[in-house]
Amino acid sequence: ESAMEDGGGALLPPHVLIFPPPIQGPINSTFSIAELLCLAGFQITVLLTEDIHSRLQSRGNIQKRFERYPNFQLRTISDGLPEDHPRSNDTFLELYKSLHTKTKVYFKEMLTSGSFESNSGSPVSCIIADSLLRFTCDVAKEIGIPIIYLRTFSACCLWVFFCLPKLIEVGEIPYRREDEDALVNCVPATESFLRRRDLPGYCRYVDTNNPAMELLIVEGEENARANGLIINTFEELEGPILSHIRASCPNLYPIGPVHAHLKTKLAAQNLSLTSTNSNILWEEDKSCISWLDSQPSKSVLYVSFGSLAMLTRDQILEFWHGLVNTGKRFLWVIRKDWKNEILAEFTKATEERGCIVDWAPQQEVLSHRAVGAFLTHSGWNSTLESIYEGVPMICWPCEGDQQTNSRFVEFVWKLGLDMKDTCDRGTIEKTVKEIMDVRRDEFRKSADNMAELARNSLIEGGSSFSAFNRLVDDIKMMSQ
């Protein structure tokens, strides 16, 4: 391996290929990391599957977002499935298998034939790939390119995955419904508060012979194969958990919250943040910001269950009644299909003190002085955005890491209340009042404290700031 030189003998910057998984959740944070590395002066190629690319492409936002970086390029690769394949949650294993057989071959071919060569002619010198895409590590090792893995969800959930072999061995999973309140014994650092129902959603009453489970069981081993692991969290939030993960993956780069890391670095270079920097998936309805402008300080409950959460009609109606009964003002993100029905039933309450949108500029909403609390599904991006803005949370997790995140929000970080597995209007009303009235000062204080720690982690000398510098230095070193 030799250092890349241009015609004049000067060193070319490292060329990093970034490969997010073909699912929408991690896309935004992966692009934030790509942008941070563009700002660090690297050549960046983001590789998307053709399917994800065409879904994002319809909005044309990737081009808009990256047009100011001449050192950025986008490439696509086939996921190997026929065009009309549903690519749904239910068929995820088919996608996984196809990626690890067909895409693996295309990927190796593209890397070795120079398909990713940048304008300046430099070949890929380092790969950053989501650790779900395990074939990338095989290929990287075969052809001798360094690879760093990337995980975009919480360290607390990742740590549970690392402990899965033990959990299965001692019989803590699968578990019976009547045992869901029993404490989990073999996830170190969480023994006093983690119940079985707080384990990542995939562990709920599963059959451990399920092939999907096999993917999770090897997380620990798999993540240790790469030269390092980038994770979207910060030391002050998940330090004790990160220490445990380091026992098998010593080289961690906790550089989060990445959305705010990017904002901070852009500001330092006098560059503005456009809406496409924070969200490339849906069109934002900005009208809710002027509505918020006319509301009293900290009076509004912001309600959003993220991009994927599927609530039933009954659940939506329970939330609605519970909310309206609190008498609080609210801003609710509801996708179109539910909106009309609810509007028809409750126009009066909506007009008086509510605002409903299809998709909100969430980071802007959470930073607005009128927002007092956030009813969330505890997706990791939403959780970090809320933490960064110091907004207390009411958690109603649906699946995956959300089940674990919400327990940490209540028990470890004391930033809110976890309402998991309950959805009746009485509980909803009581919980909202608890957060916004009864225990409001207590939650606000801990939310302010954590927000300050998050901000400090991103400034010179802070933990995420330093981890990012180390990442940049390590990539330079590995690329030589």
Residue ranges that bind ligand UDX, judged by CB under 6 A? 25-26, 28, 153, 279, 304, 306-309, 333, 359-360, 362-363, 379-382, 385, 400-402
Q: Determine the Cα–Cα distance for residues 393 and 378; give it in Å rounded to an integer.
A: 9
> Which residue's CB is nearer to ligand UDX, number 183 or number 343?
343
**CB nearer ligand UDX, residue 331 or residue 432:** 331
The C-alpha atoms of residue 126 and residue 137 are separated, in whole angstroms, by 11
Minimum distance between the CB of residue 24 and ligand UDX, rounded to whole angstroms?
Answer: 7
Contact 38, 69 (CB under 8 A): yes
Is the distance from CB of 434 to CB of 417 less than 8 angstroms? yes
C-alpha–C-alpha distance, residues 288 and 286, integer Å: 5
Nearer to ligand UDX, 78 or 315 (CB): 315
DSSP strand E in 84-224: where? 126-130, 147-151
In whole angstroms, the minimum distance from the beta carbon of 108 to ligand UDX comes to 28
Distances (CA, A) of 447 to 149, 155, 218, 436, 457: 30, 19, 35, 13, 15
Q: With respect to ligand UDX, which residue has the nearer C-beta, 286 or 348?
A: 286
Choose between 43 and 403: whose C-beta lies nearer to ligand UDX.
Answer: 403
304: nearest Cα among 360, 222, 364 = 360
**109 residue type, one letter:** E
Q: How far is the CB of 309 from ligand UDX (least distance, A)?
A: 6
Q: Toward ligand UDX, which CB reaches closer, 43 or 264?
A: 264
CA–CA dist 122, 135 (Å, integer): 23
Task: Provide the minimum distance between the beta carbon of 305 and ligand UDX in the complex, in angstroms, as a whole number.
Answer: 8
| Dist. CA 231–CA 284, nearest whole Å | 27
Which residue's CB is nearer to ligand UDX, number 107 or number 359? Answer: 359
Give the pair of three-digit tokens for residue 239.
């330090």
Nearest approach, Cβ of 276 to ligand UDX (angstroms)?
11
Smallest separation, CB 366 to ligand UDX (Å): 8
Structure tokens at 278: 């924070």
Residue 453 token pair:
């720690």
What is the nearest approach in angstroms of ligand UDX to the Cβ of residue 288?
Answer: 9
CB nearer to ligand UDX: pick between 27 and 475: 27
CA 206, CA 211: separation in Å to the nearest integer?
A: 11
Least separation, in Å, of the C-beta of 426 and ligand UDX? 26
User: What's the token pair of residue 442?
Assistant: 């207590």
C-alpha span between 211 and 199 (Å, rounded): 18
d(CA 466, CA 370): 33
Smallest distance, ligand UDX to C-beta of residue 383, A: 7
d(CA 1, CA 236): 38
| Alpha helices (runs of H) in 16-78, residue ranges in sequence order | 27-39, 50-57, 61-66
Beta bridge partners of 128: 18, 148
List Cβ neighbours of 332 (8 Å cut-off, separation of 6 or more): 303, 304, 323, 354, 355, 356, 357
Residues in Cβ contact with 422 at an 8 Å cutoff, skipping those fewer than 6 apart:
none
Closer Cβ to ligand UDX, 392 or 400, answer by number:
400
- Sheet with 354-357, strands from edge to edge, namely 354-357, 329-333, 300-304, 371-376, 393-395, 416-418
The least CB distance from residue 272 to ligand UDX, in Å, is 18
For residue 265, the minimal CB distance to ligand UDX (Å) is: 18
Determine the residue type at 436.
M
